[in-house]
Amino acid sequence: MNNTVIDVHNISRVYNPDTIPVYAVNNVHLHLQRGEFTALVGPSGSGKTTLLNMIGGLDKPDAGTIIINGMNITELSPRELVDFRLHNIGFVFQSYNLIPVLTAKENVEFIMLLQGKSKQERDQRVQQLFKEIGMEDKLNVRPAQLSSGQQQRVAVARALASKPQFILADEPTANLDSKSAANLLDIMALLNADENITFLFSTHDQRVINRARRVITLVDGKIASDTAAVDISQPHKFETV
Amino acid sequence: MKWLAKLAWKNIWRNRNRTIITMASVFFAVILSVLANSLQTGTFDNLVKNVVSFYTGYLQVHKAGYWNEQILDNSFEVSASTKQKILSQQNIRAVAARLESFALASSADVTKGCLVAGIDAEEENNVTGLKQKLIAGSYLQAADAGVLLAQGLADRLQLKVNDTIVLIAKGYHGATAAGKYAVKGILKFGSPDLNDKALLMALVTAQDFYGAPGMVTSYVLSLNETKSLQATATTVQQALGSNYEIMTWEQLMPDIKQHIKADADSMRYVLGVLYMLICFGVFSTLLMMMVERKYEMGMLVAIGMHKRLMMLLLLIESLLTVLAGCVLGILTSVPIVYIMQKYPIRLSGESAKAYERFGFEAIFPTSTDASIFISQGLIVLVIGSVLSLYPVYKVFRLHPVTAMKR
């Protein structure tokens, strides 16, 4: 059985192609296996978010193909992409982005409502996820009444609710204090280890980099380094090609 | 889809102030437009009632072709069965027969052209309330030999009650008509034109004067329900056949109709400005809402919410807000309009006197016609619904990556 979840073939994304072309992502080639816990690092403007957006089907590459779980998503229509994202990808954003008028439970349930899951399925999944993120007592609390760390944990639960192929997390710890960040990373690491969920983070945060089992460094839209193991005792240094 | 409606409801109240501002702009717009419209319609109805009750009646029955050539030769024989046919139609309240023509009226030294109307005194009073216009002398009896003069004509001829007036005219089929009559009373008409030239006498006296026994030129009809004017005209026409022409007051007095139309047109501009204000009120709040929620919308599309669902969500939110404003506006305007009909705006001082000189009561009542509430409510609802398409359009154009850029 093919274990590759994300298969990126020589993708490029160019802004202003007709005037002064800027390569946000330049001929990137990348494979991620199921169960990887990978950090995508690099300085600001290196193309991390653009690459993540393209892998997540939110943006289209100008060249190359992206195959997710055997499906070439670069050939999908915008409508098909929405469905694809709904069933295959979990997103965690830097600023949590929970729907403020819904409770924590309803936020997690929301994505399952979009999937058309039954109430029984939704309830079971919500209970399981809140247990995993350690927030069983906060089911009916609105986001505004939760701490930043708790909100981000709910966002992780929401990302997992649809049982996706992998989770894309864009700077998930950027707005969290050390304790909350460590707690969130513990949860994600546990989910990765126990449920074999694939995580791909874009991050500047050394705490995330330290916990990652694979670190891909982007510089000027190109992969500068890709390592399956890093020395977690040492801060990660950006390298140039 | 219940969850979508639930989410829409929660979203409506996520920014309470914004929702209240939107609802308030729709609410006040509905009240103002209903009030403006019902005041205008009520005032026009009052104007028509006044004008019609002067003399014309809501409908008139003539021999076919009379209105184009208003001569005695185009009169027709008065008939109890024809009258009965008219009265048996729905919505006819009363019928008055008239024989109308012209004559030269003379007093001692003065001669003046006048409109002579032979009337059935009681029937005429039922239709136009003629007795109330009497300011001197006494009212006509059934076969009275005296005449009633309009005040302006009496002044011009320098005649008073019990004086004698001499009339000369061309009678039926070219006969010469001449006679002298005692002035039995003086009438004051609201219409200056009528006040300067009307002379009324008993129908049989007029028939005798013009040598047209048993003939009339018109039946003047009053109605129970004035809104169904055209429908009533049609049923009367069907009942009487093509030998008769049935004319509405709008055809008989096209200048009044034109005046109402011109006034209604100018009111349309006023309402147009009002509608524009609603547009700005509602649109600005929608604009604010879209700016506030742009990031969230981008995120929702990113995680897998179809744009069509989001469009539906925003449409439900906007429509519910506008609908609530509309319903509240209509519910509030109903008692206001009813109160203003019972206690109409009443002019006082010189303005009131000016109105009263023309025979109008100086009041501006509102109309409680249900169609006003429904039409104005619907117009505002349609405006709101059209504006609700803006968020839909923005979602249609939304790109999640661009939307999620801070």
The per-residue pLDDT for range B11-22, each reduced to its tens digit, is 999 888 888 988
Mean pLDDT, chain A, as a whole number? 87
pLDDT band with cut points at 50, 70 and 90 for residue A97: confident
pLDDT band with cut points at 50, 70 and 90 for residue A229: very low
d(CA B346, CA B343): 8
Q: Which residues of B touch A122 (CB under 8 A)?
A: none
For residue A236, give how far its alpha carbon lies from the nearest alpha carbon of chain B (Å). Answer: 27
Q: 């409109």: which residue's tokens?
A: B115
pLDDT of residue A235: 44
For B:307-366, CB contacts with A below 8 A are: 307, 309
Q: Map out the domains of chain A with their CATH numbers.
A: 36-60+76-227 (3.40.50.300)
Q: Is the pLDDT of residue A234 over 70?
A: no
pLDDT of residue A232: 39
Q: pLDDT tens digit string along A20-79?
A: 888 899 999 999 999 999 999 998 889 999 999 999 999 999 999 999 988 999 999 989
Question: Per DSSP, what are the bridge partners of residue B186?
Answer: B136, B149
Q: pLDDT tens digit string along A1-23?
A: 568 899 999 999 998 888 888 88
B13 touches chain A (CB under 8 A): yes
A111 and B304 within 8 Å at the Cβ level: the answer is yes
Q: Is the pLDDT of residue A231 over 50?
A: no
B305 and A102 within 8 Å at the Cβ level: the answer is no
pLDDT under 50: residue ranges of chain B: none
pLDDT band with cut points at 50, 70 and 90 for residue A191: confident
For residue A234, give how far its alpha carbon lies from the nearest alpha carbon of chain B (Å). Answer: 33
| Spacing of C-alpha A31 from chain mean position | 15
For A:120-179, CB contacts with B below 8 A are: 158-159, 162
pLDDT of residue A158: 92
d(CA A218, CA A200): 14
pLDDT of residue B394: 92
A59 touches chain B (CB under 8 A): yes
B299 and A158 within 8 Å at the Cβ level: the answer is no
B302 touches chain A (CB under 8 A): yes
